[in-house]
Chain A
Amino acid sequence: SQTIHQWPATLVQPVGSPLSLECTVEGTSNPNLYWYRQAAGRGLQLLFYSVGIGQISSEVPQNLSASRPQDRQFILSSKKLLLSDSGFYLCAWSVSGRDNEQFFGPGTRLTVL
Chain B
Amino acid sequence: KNQVEQSPQSLIILEGKNCTLQCNYTVSPFSNLRWYKQDTGRGPVSLTIMTFSENTKSNGRYTATLDADTKQSSLHITASQLSDSASYICVVRYGGATNKLIFGTGTLLAVQP
Contacts and interface: CB of A to CB of B under 8 A. Distances in A.
Interface residues of B, number: 20
Contacts, number: 39
A105 B43 contact: yes
Interface string B36-51: 0000011111100100
24 contacts: A41-B105, A42-B105, A43-B4, A43-B89, A43-B104, A43-B105, A44-B44, A44-B89, A44-B103, A88-B41, A90-B44, A92-B43, A98-B93, A98-B99, A99-B31, A99-B93, A101-B46, A101-B49, A102-B101, A104-B44, A105-B43, A106-B42, A107-B42, A107-B43
Classify chain A's interface size.
Answer: 10 to 19
Interface in B82-105: 89, 93, 99-101, 103-105
A95 interface: no
A103 B34 CA distance: 12
Contacts of B81: none
Contacts of A99: 31-32, 93
A35 to B, nearest CB: 12
Interface string A70-113: 00000000000000000010101000001101111111010000
A37 B61 CA distance: 30
Contacts of B44: 44, 90, 104
A56 interface: no
Contacts of A43: 4, 89, 103-106
A88 B93 CA distance: 22
Given A41-B105, A103-B46, A106-B43, 4 more contacts: A44-B89, A44-B103, A104-B43, A107-B43
